[in-house]
Structure 1
Amino acid sequence: MLKKLVLVATTALALAGGIGAGTASAAPVAVLGGGSGVLVADSTGKGKFDCTLTTIGNDAAGRLVGITAGHCGVPGDLIGAEYLPDAGAVGRIVSSVPGLDYAVIEFDRGRVAPTNRVGNVTITGVGAPSTFPGIMCKEGRTTGNTCGITYGELFQNDRTYTQICVQQGDSGGPVVAGTTLVGMVNAYLGIPCIGPEVGTNIQTVLDDINRGGGVGTGFTVTG
């Protein structure tokens, strides 16, 4: 059975004036990158889920944009930094695509400092997943940095299966080959850290964003 990896959040976000307008100058700045834990809340600030950010960077219009798993939230949901809840809402989900299971986040540039390194994962670009029997790794807010053998696209095109250990809350975690972002964590089969992990390939996500236009079009990772 394919199981999604959201973890129910218990922390509500202080709205602190909302996103993009009326931001208090004293509000703390959150450092976020692929592998950072994020809090997802509804428009009232009530906590919903804890997930992991896949990556952060800029789109063609100069907006600060992040990507995570689609089942982590819906358009209008607020995003906070798990390690810095006092920063309040620092972003908002602007689109979510259930079929490919990804969501696009627009961050408040004045309240987020992007980084390309979180834990043991550094992201310098995007590319294709390794093929069997290559090794890939991920960074997640629950299980941290774990690596495993790659099985490839076994049952679905554009989704890669690996033996990477994942548990609830790792949804959206970046899957990398070296420093190249190749996909995200979306689910596992059967038992966490035993059943294979499955995730959408990042190029599939970026191609779909570009076809749709809007926030995230022309996305490039923070270097």
Structure 2
Amino acid sequence: MWATLGSAQAQAPVTLGGGSGIVFDEGSTCTLTTIGYDGAGQLVGFTAAHCAAEGAGVSAEADPGAGPVGTVAFTNPDYDYAVITFDAGLVNPVNQVGATAITGVGLPAQFPAVACKEGRTTGQTCGLVYGDVFGGASWTLTQICVIVGDSGAPVVVGNTLVAIVNGYIAVPCLGPQVGANFTRILDDVNARGGVGVGFHPI
């Protein structure tokens, strides 16, 4: 009688990039802003801080059976961003999701530019940039359509990441979208130290 030997198979990595849907331990769903490497070579990503607490596991919405592939390492409610550390062996990082590609990070967009976002709920939508109406170079308002689940989505001008989606004023898709400028987020990360310092998108 022949004995059959089973062979263990390694799980295929999940694909994640700016615009991918991500799911947290408690079940909330948001959008990954971008993914890349920090100065220490750690694979990290960003999303909105209001999506999950520090220490929460992060899974890919498109591949829920894969289980958690990352952890929320840090959140800053002041600029509403979170840094996620990913297991590089479980994630295939990409710089394009849907119609949105991210090739670099740029300064905040100004009126009358047109910016677009890639969200897990509404996909790619675009709108007029109003600029930083609050002052301080921290927040940008646009006429981009966003609804629940789009939080954390990348806001791009062309292929340049300029902000993230944090919310909207008054009415979804009608009221202006509000987003933290990504250069301000990176400045805050670099000043704080630790995970994410020296981040660059793939």
TM range (shorter): over 0.9
1:29 to 2, 9, 13: 13
| Alignment-derived partner of residue 200 in structure 2 | 220
Q: Matched residues in 1 for 2:166 and 2:27: separation?
A: 17
* Structure with bigger gyration radius: 2
Q: Matched residues in 2 for 1:30 and 1:155: separation?
A: 38
Measure how far apart 1:131 and its partner are.
1.1
1:191 paired to 2:171:
yes
2:160 to 167, 176, 180: 180
Measure how far apart 1:105 and its partner are.
0.2
1:62 to 41, 56, 69: 41
Runs of 4+ in structure 1 over 2 Å off: 24-28
For each residue in 1:71-129, what CA deviation from the matched residue of structure 2 results, as whole angstroms up to 9, or x when unmatched?
01111100000000011000000000000000000000000010000001000000013
**What letter corresponds to residue 141 of structure 2 in structure 1?**
Y
Conservation of the 8 A alpha-carbon contact between 1:80 and 1:90: yes
User: How is 1:58-137 mapped onto 2 (pairs within 5 angstroms)?
Assistant: 58-137=37-116
**What letter corresponds to residue 152 of structure 1 in structure 2?**
G
| Alignment-derived partner of residue 144 in structure 1 | 123
| Alignment-derived partner of residue 30 in structure 2 | 51
Conservation of the 8 A alpha-carbon contact between 2:109 and 2:140: no
TM-score between both structures, scaled by the size of structure 2: 0.94
Q: Matched residues in 1 for 2:154 and 2:144: separation?
A: 11
RMSD: 1.0
Conservation of the 8 A alpha-carbon contact between 1:28 and 1:86: no
Structure 2, unaligned stretches of length 5 or more? 1-7
1:207 paired to 2:187:
yes
Task: Point out the more displaced range, 150-159 or 199-208.
Answer: 150-159
Report how many residues are paired.
194
TM-score between both structures, scaled by the size of structure 1: 0.85
Conservation of the 8 A alpha-carbon contact between 2:108 and 2:183: no
Q: Matched residues in 2 for 1:156 and 1:187: separation?
A: 18
2:22 to 38, 48, 52: 38
Q: Matched residues in 1 for 2:111 and 2:135: separation?
A: 15
Conservation of the 8 A alpha-carbon contact between 2:49 and 2:75: yes
Once the two structures are aligned, what percentage of the paired residues are identical? 55
**What letter corresponds to residue 40 of structure 1 in structure 2?**
F
